[in-house]
Structure 1
């Protein structure tokens, strides 16, 4: 991305290669989540954002968001069952990652209302990965998880990175940032710090 900005926010310049991970760090309210939402084309912005040399503005927004997927700190759920959020082949295709996230095979048949906060967070990560994104924008993806679940989520993210996934991570956990990322972009007051 080049000169990504909006009123009183930015500009930000960042280029990431396949398999690279960048942590966006800074205090609460600094604008980290807004930056992720701007990259995903969920919040208005100016500047150039591209993937493989193709500008975001040249692609329909739904297609862009399949390639550049944003996982919110509090993900939304629109269907009554877990299965309603996944394609029919997802349970089999994602079995290894589901197991690494410490979710039982029957989870796809559960009603969303039954899920704990941690189960929702792990399933939201699985849902984000199900579409095969090229870039994953993660906003506090393990904030509600116990240590074993954090290890599982980090292992899944690391494996996808090894396969070429680009990750941009917002996390207030310095140890997690050190484990998962290779670069940092500090943000303060809506600007690079």
Structure 2
């Protein structure tokens, strides 16, 4: 179904393009919110990615998911933004609400997410992006390498660093408690 929408969008079908963007908007927005930790910036970047996707749909080559292409564009825009503006402000309180769980479950989930978010927010951007792509969105190593424009070994190394840091943090908390 997505392949058909892509072909139609590449031929200039505006409805197909609109459907593609609507279907992939939550994935892109969620990713950008997690890596930027800034609601306004993630909104701006999401809109910019959407505009670029519309303008460059004819260049899209279906090697992976359409959302992967959008995330790649978003990652590059975020990197450019960081290089240009060192004064970016990040919000440490962003969490996802899971309304389908009981109140107790929601509290436990929010605490766990908050703990992990507080740890990964301290990671350098490149490591944080790899962690989010793998563990929040389930991308494979080769897909992440394509998005990040780096070798698979670098992806593995960055993930190893992240997991080690999280384990160290959990161990420190357990030792203190």
- Give the TM-score, by structure 2 length: 0.30
Flag the structure with larger Rg. Answer: 2
* Structure with greater helix share of residues: 2
